[in-house]
Structure 1
Amino acid sequence: MTISTLVVDDNANTRADIASSLSHLDINLVFANDGLDGLKQAKEGVFDLMIVDHKMPLMDGLTLLKNLRQLEHYHYTPILFVTTQDVTEIEPIALKNGATRCLSKPLESEFLSDVVTYYTKRSVA
């Protein structure tokens, strides 16, 4: 079963790194360039997992989290929140706003793959 994952990040290099890190998994990746685009994609599709960047133009990741959790289909969807800021400071805020887990950038390929595998197995179980 192919897992559908929405990746919302304004940095093209980060999107490419995520794609490369997850290329060996049976995952359909859909990309959004900012929070508004991410919200639009989420409303138009159905995703089993989301990876959301913290700092983005038009709508930041925290605002996107709040909006996603208000959509009925995404109340319980795992959302990985990624940030370049100190995770110990951002994580409580991200979790309060709907993140499932907070990860620090840069994302190490094998670690990201393991985390995504863990949450996708749980989301389709």
Structure 2
Amino acid sequence: MSVSILVVEDKDRTREHVLDVLAPLNFHIVTAKDGLDGLSKAKTESFDMILTDHKMPVMDGLSLLKNLRELEPYRDAPIFFMTTQDLTEVEPKALKAGATACFSKPLQAEPVREQIKTHIQRSVA
């Protein structure tokens, strides 16, 4: 079974960094350039997990989280929130909106991979 992950990030350089972090996991990865693009892809494709940025044009990460949690396939799916802002301010809002966990950017590869592997095992078990 192939695991499919949606990465929603508006900045090209950061998106490439996230892809580099995820590459060793050998999952199928699809990218979206903002929250609206991510929501559209989540409605037309099936993903086991989603990683979304916080601050994006068109639709921000909090709005995306809320919208995803209203969709049956994503009510319980792991959705990780990424931000450059202070986690003590952002994390409570993200968790309330439905995030599984939050990561500071730039992502630290090993801790992120471990969290993802743990949550993927739980969600596909």
TM-score (norm 1): 0.96
Q: Hey, what's the Cα distance between the residues in 1 that align with 2:121 and 2:26?
A: 11
Partner of 1:87: 87
- Deviations 1:41-81 (CA, angstroms, capped at 9, x unpaired): 00001110000100000000000000000111110000000
TM-score (norm 2): 0.96
State yes or no: 1:13 paired with 2:36.
no
Q: Name the % identity.
A: 54
Number of residue pairs aligned between Structure 1 and Structure 2: 125
Partner of 1:71: 71
Partner of 1:118: 118
5+ residue gaps, structure 1, are: none
Q: Hey, what's the Cα distance between the residues in 2 that align with 1:85 and 1:94?
A: 12
State yes or no: 1:29 paired with 2:29.
yes
SS at match of 1:24: helix
Segments ≥4 residues shifted beyond 4 Å: none
The one-letter code of the counterpart of 2:42 is A
The one-letter code of the counterpart of 2:15 is R
Q: Hey, what's the Cα distance between the residues in 1 that align with 2:46 and 2:120?
A: 14
The one-letter code of the counterpart of 1:31 is T
Cα RMSD for the two superposed structures: 0.8
The one-letter code of the counterpart of 1:42 is A
Q: Hey, what's the Cα distance between the residues in 1 that align with 2:5 and 2:47?
A: 5
Which stretch has the larger CA shift, 110-119 or 74-83?
110-119
Q: Hey, what's the Cα distance between the residues in 1 that align with 2:108 and 2:73?
A: 30
Give 1:36 shift: 0.5
